[in-house]
């Protein structure tokens, strides 16, 4: 049984008197615990697909099913955005605890869960600070800690590291993988970076330009833990990189 199942999904937006066909005939299933990256040219509907899974948009046709295993109180999904995912008037620890407090969970559990993930992302000594006192990388760590602390059925991540410098990006990617390996959550992750997708994914779903379709489903069979050096030097992965690169070049040229 798949954790996420999407059948014949399409999405059209009405803008003035015109329809924009954002997604066309998306059909896919993602297994429990898989780390799947969505890669495609700008405007191909990646965020729209994530927003549909988050219940923030309704598909025009088709259906989406997320298998629920926890209690009915378990959130279906947590989302991590590129930026501005933290609540400015709450401290680091209050941000991480926010979802758990909203569910009125016991305070001892909230404290334990919050501290566990603050430690995991290296923010335990910064828990009393407010977002304005944090760097961009630290804010993203807060968002990641909050997303995992919520213990959702699935995690949806929309280019969470896109605004970070290379060094911070590598550190956060490693931290994310370490938490993912511990929790074995199902993750759907949007990125524009082929290297990032190769480093993180069990599978890469490659999308066409608008209307977005999934044109390739590429398994990444590199052992974990992976390093960027391995990603860059493995001959099979190098071929996959080139294949994705050529596809993206072609799609981007077509849309221009
Ligand atoms: N609420 C909306 N109303 C009208 N059009 C929309 C809406 N949301 C998205 N679109 C359109 O749907 C298409 C897909 O947008 P989406 O943001 O999902 O693409 P994307 O692949 O995530 O792009 P990027 O990589 O640039 O972030 C675009 O043409 C966009 O303009």
Residues 123, 242, single domain; the answer is no
Residue 73: per-residue pLDDT: 77
Q: What is the pTM of this model?
A: 0.95
Least confident of 20-29, 72-81, 209-218: 72-81
Query: Domain total for the chain?
Result: 2
CATH of the domain at 200: 3.40.50.300
Residues 136, 158, single domain; the answer is no
The ipTM estimated for the assembled molecules is 0.98
178 within a domain of the structure (yes/no)? yes
172 within a domain of the structure (yes/no)? yes
13 CB within 6 A, ligand 1 = yes
- CA within 13 Å, CB half, 56: 10
142 within a domain of the structure (yes/no)? yes
Residues 158, 250, single domain; the answer is yes
Domain coverage including residue 232: 31-54+153-255
66 within a domain of the structure (yes/no)? no
113 within a domain of the structure (yes/no)? yes
Cα–Cα distance for residue pair 22/13, rounded to 1 Å = 7
> At how many degrees (to 10) do helices 136-149 and 92-102 cross?
20
Question: Quick one: which atom of ligand 1 is closest to the CA of 190?
Answer: 22
Residues 163, 237, single domain; the answer is yes
Ligand 1 test: best mutation among 10, 17, 46, most atoms within 8 Å of CB? 46
Residues 148, 189, single domain; the answer is no
pLDDT tens, position by position, 24-77: 999 999 999 999 999 999 999 999 999 999 999 999 999 999 998 877 778 899
79 within a domain of the structure (yes/no)? no
């Amino acid at each position: 049984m798949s954790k996420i199942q999407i059948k014949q999904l399409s999405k059209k937006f009405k803008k003035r008197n015109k329809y924009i066909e954002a997604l066309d005939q998306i059909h896919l299933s993602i297994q429990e615990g898989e780390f799947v990256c969505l890669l495609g040219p700008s405007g191909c509907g990646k965020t729209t697909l994530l927003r549909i899974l988050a219940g923030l948009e309704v598909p025009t046709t088709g259906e989406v099913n997320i298998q629920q295993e926890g209690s009915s109180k378990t959130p279906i999904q947590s989302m991590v955005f590129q930026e501005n995912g933290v609540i400015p008037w709450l401290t680091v620890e209050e941000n991480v605890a926010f979802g758990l407090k909203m569910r009125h969970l016991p305070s001892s559990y909230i404290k334990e869960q919050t501290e566990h993930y603050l430690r995991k992302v290296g923010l335990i000594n910064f828990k009393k600070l407010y977002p304005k006192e944090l760097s961009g990388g630290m804010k993203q760590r807060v968002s990641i800690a909050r997303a995992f602390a919520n213990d959702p059925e699935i995690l949806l991540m929309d280019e969470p590291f896109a605004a970070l410098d290379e060094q911070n990006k590598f550190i956060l990617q490693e931290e994310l993988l370490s938490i993912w390996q511990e929790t074995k959550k199902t993750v759907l992750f949007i990125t524009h970076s082929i290297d990032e997708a190769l480093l993180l994914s069990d599978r890469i779903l490659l999308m066409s330009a608008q209307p977005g379709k999934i044109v390739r489903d590429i398994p990444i069979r590199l052992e974990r833990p992976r390093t960027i050096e391995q990603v860059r030097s493995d001959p099979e992965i190098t071929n996959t990189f080139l294949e994705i690169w050529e596809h993206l070049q072609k799609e981007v040229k077509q849309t221009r």
